[in-house]
Chains A and B, each alone.
Chain A
């Protein structure tokens, strides 16, 4: 990779770009250097306003009349682009260096046919004849995998979908066979499953054409999937650069570390392993601090060192390509675990608060509004939606655009009324009551947190006035001063200074606005809060803080939360139960554990495989869906997902096309709307597999178990023990000896063989495996220092700790046999474990995760197993005290009657 004989395609040295505005010079990029080798993909990651797009514009020399390169050089194939004439630059732009922007529609001319636009590239840059241009364009469309390219050539951009538009843009950029492709957030505007397709396409093209790429994104997971090397930017500077594995596994800058701590990776848990937000905000460009830009937000900040003066990139020892803009690389303990606000007493879900039964919402779309003529078409936005939400529970509604999740929210809030079905809140049917007809109590009981922070507050009223108006409307407080006091308390609640009451929304940052939105939603002590992608528009480091805040308030107020999102990583982190929607149908619902472990609905499976995860130890199955989401105006016959379903062939005949599948209950509370036979569902393998695992194990089987345990970890408090211990096993494996390292390397490679090409690529690279191994060491340490409790779990019985041992108990004789209870496959009719006094829905979920479904199983637990489970649940002896085994025995023998006979009271 670092072959000195090969000339880099692009070499940027000490680039400084400034914008000159009325207020003076605003430096947007400072001291930026990077090198892109032929065939290499460089990732540029950072939050909004960090200057990553400016770098791309600087390369294109297209910074408008206000932007200027003040220092440094950009060399294209060894030639300084600053010395080139305008004509030369024009020749290079669009032919040698192409750029792909975020919004595909903005890069295509809406008034020109796609074929014409494509051919123009060749006609201008290569003087190709019309015929040749047409043929080559057609070929290119075929290679970006557009269906029916000849038809697309003759279409206008608005006639095709967003994903197809982005493919056209990519095709256009590749037509002139560029050396370098600049991709500026190419998938941000697209849906997750469509994004997965584009990412795969980009990767394939990079492999086949050998084009170098600069991939700009705010999404670390996406960078991991696509890039070889990565540069992390913060506030106009590159703060860390290196190969993807170096940076992801051995980050050497506090900002990078903070970023990773604030995104929900598998293993994060809202109670036992919550996210850690980076405190503070990105400094404004003209208010950057002296010395390190990250200094004011950095925990490792040391006066006199970090603010002494300009900091240049420092070499990380032992890694040639790895550099960091931190003076304390060797002093900071990079494996130290940040302090987490661990929740010791999570609130268990209570009674059902919201009960939605067979909800339908249809819209009639008339062709001609004024004269009422033409044919009326019906949009079926929601089709037989049935689910429940309990007090203090977080139910996530997951789906892509057009799946009807926003319509559902509108019906709940009374902005629309249901066409059919019931929505019962408490004891009131609200499905057919518009918000203006609802009582004040009902209105304040259902509130919403909106998606776009820049839109959620009225720019014309002060923050305080807006909250006071809400209080007024909810009839809270008797006088003006009363309400003002309450408003200030709400500001305290969302951790904003009281002085913010006087501020106008434009004086607030995105995160702060979203906090005000939260305060407003919780002003009337709501029973139900609908959060519509509340953090998706925020920067990564702010997301964590707002998510944590939202959950903290929810926990204290015991509010039910409907969390609408397309981002499954956040959902896995935050939700207790998940509802997956597709084209107006609920296709799968169940506990978070049910959803994230097999069996899956094929759509959930695809959705899971599509989310980019910023963790090098994760191995995913890649399922790329064909085509786009059908229009709700013209839904497919039968199963809504049948047009894209990769498993359609596994169902006999044309059943999928004929009939909407029935809702099937696979396990208690786990529903799937699919025709697939039970045997196929049962045979499904997990999509996301954590790479940490002991050696000597058949990778596939183990992989499945590990995923299960990690899935469980995210739902339960006690699950943290599982994660920590899991990691601890990894540590043991790595730390013991070099042979352990070697074998784990081997196992990564062997596993990769069974999974996918991407992983293969990764594993075959020399540093990749070692990096993974060291990642294990890191996470292991992480696990053992979380908290005394977890530490105990991993130190007292390192090998026998819960999840890992469970995962390995049967398959890995090398590991000391432990006392985890024997597990079973999920039966068709699991017993209601909640009948055992002491087992709530949450604990039941954990037990299910352990493979415990029947009373008989519990009844057979020996002392060691009881202790194990007790320890696993951190119960400190509760199982013995409550005598679960005796209870279970009674229940197993004769159900409720036997229980009454033995205990003299009814079971729960």
Chain B
């Protein structure tokens, strides 16, 4: 059997992504039809850069969701005789099947590993960014609103974290001895508490005039929140629904930890600006509590810049995860994580470039898409 031509490889890849294309088309066309009702997302359609970014990001999300349908081979499976084979090489013993992007050093399908790698990245990066935002917002709001001592203290802390070399911090956090002391777990215990605190304050400040609704929301938050909290932070979920692999927990905590000070600073700056508005004074004059003003009067009005930053930050986090993987601090040595795959491919880069390139291009395209999306959102939100 002959190897596939470049064109055949290209069409082969396109064909493999068929379920993704179909879903992408449905989403894009659907959003296009209802764009007038979709607010900011609908407005993206007026912005070529924005819509390209949106399409790329949706593409990768769909790929991650439908990875099982897309991959031709098991990403962990080693196929005899396929070690370091070039793209389009027919699989030995399996008629009509090819390694579309070749095989890697351990004779696994590069294409399948790249597709599966999107799952790791897209499951960690957005979630870690979200947690970082929770922490940053919960601390940034009071710092910007009250100023004074609270601000001085929190800003000092944030600067400390920002001044610490990130890579060194990561190495520390994943070092065996440090893990045994339990530092990552304690960090997780602190950081994972913020979303619960955030939601509790959010509901109590708004609904304290309507106790019935308040008890409902607070109850729900506490039950679900604490359940997830025990599972994620201490791996002690009695029902076993929430759990996190210790390695994943480590990098998750690390990513949240280094991202939240930046978010804190952004939120603080935005709050300092918004709190001078008359509607904030109006809320004060009707006797609203400070937390109500921060969460319900100020926060909704800083959402624009925060959404943009959220998109950009997922991109940074993705690169950060790649970097971590590259240094061997990734999820698990076997996993198809993009960063790790690039690192492995690096070793034979001069002889076989093909195992390292696809994950690198995937990483680049996702980050590019996120940046485009952020740009588009920023431009459109400024227009109005």
Contacts and interface: CB of A to CB of B under 8 A. Distances in A.
B214 to A, nearest CB: 12
A783 interface: no
A143 interface: no
A506 B152 CA distance: 36
A455 B286 contact: no
A788 B273 CA distance: 56
Interface stretch (B254-262, B276-284, B348-356): B276-284
A438 B282 contact: no
A183 interface: no
B300 to A, nearest CB: 4
Interface in A440-491: 440, 443-444, 446-448, 450-452, 455-461, 470, 472-475
Nearest to B302: A460
Interface in B139-158: 148, 152
B297 interface: yes
A506 B39 CA distance: 14
A447 B286 contact: yes
Contact of B285 (A413, A458, A461, A472): A413
A473 B281 contact: no
B287 A438 contact: yes
Interface string B282-317: 111111111000000100110100000000000000
A439 to B, nearest CB: 9
A175 to B, nearest CB: 37
A435 interface: yes
Contacts of B289: 436
Interface residues of A, number: 34
A443 B278 contact: no
B384 A506 contact: yes
Contact of A452 (B210, B278, B301): B278
Given A370-B152, A460-B301, A455 B279 contact: yes
Nearest to A523: B286
Contacts of A413: 284-285
Nearest to B285: A413
Interface in B320-351: none
A472 B279 contact: no
A458 B284 contact: no
Nearest to B207: A472
A473 B286 contact: yes
B209 interface: yes
A450 B278 contact: yes
Interface residues of B, number: 23
Contact of B278 (A414, A435, A456, A460): A456
Contacts of A446: 285
A455 B278 contact: yes
Contact of A473 (B152, B288, B384): B288
Contacts of A520: 282
A444 B286 CA distance: 7
A450 B301 contact: no
Given A436-B289, A450-B278, A459 B301 contact: yes
Contacts of B77: none
A415 interface: yes
A66 interface: no
Contacts of B279: 455-458
A435 B287 contact: yes
B384 A470 contact: no
A443 B282 contact: no
Nearest to B148: A369
B98 to A, nearest CB: 47
A440 B281 contact: no
Interface in B194-216: 209-210
Contact of B301 (A435, A451, A458): A458
A738 to B, nearest CB: 57
Contacts of B297: 458
B285 A448 contact: yes
A459 B296 CA distance: 11
B77 to A, nearest CB: 51
A369 to B, nearest CB: 8
A22 interface: yes
A470 to B, nearest CB: 5
Given A448-B282, A472-B209, A472-B210, A460 B300 contact: yes
B74 interface: no
Contacts of A524: 286
A602 B384 CA distance: 49
B282 A415 contact: no
Contacts of B277: 455
B68 interface: no
B48 to A, nearest CB: 13
A435 B285 contact: yes
Of A440, A450, A524, which is in contact with the most chain B CB atoms at under 10 Å from its CB? A450
A473 B300 contact: no
Of B209, B281, B287, B303, which is in contact with the most chain A CB atoms at under 10 Å from its CB? B287
B5 to A, nearest CB: 45
A394 B262 CA distance: 50
A451 B281 CA distance: 11
Contacts of B278: 450-452, 455-456
A448 B281 contact: yes
B38 to A, nearest CB: 16
Contacts of B300: 458, 460-461
A450 B281 contact: yes
Nearest to A22: B46
Nearest to A440: B287
Contacts of A369: 148, 152
Nearest to A461: B300
Nearest to A480: B210
A458 B46 CA distance: 27
A26 to B, nearest CB: 15
A332 B278 CA distance: 44
Interface in B152-200: 152
Contacts of A458: 279, 283, 297, 300-301
B202 to A, nearest CB: 14
A415 B297 CA distance: 17
Interface in B206-230: 209-210
29 contacts: A370-B152, A413-B285, A414-B285, A415-B281, A415-B284, A435-B285, A435-B287, A436-B290, A438-B287, A443-B285, A443-B286, A443-B287, A447-B286, A448-B282, A448-B285, A450-B278, A452-B278, A455-B278, A456-B279, A458-B283, A458-B297, A459-B301, A461-B300, A473-B287, A473-B288, A474-B286, A506-B384, A517-B282, A524-B286
Given A446-B285, A458-B297, 5 more contacts: A413-B284, A415-B281, A452-B278, A473-B209, A474-B286
Q: Which 3 A-B pairs have the closest CB atoms?
A: A460-B300, A455-B278, A450-B278
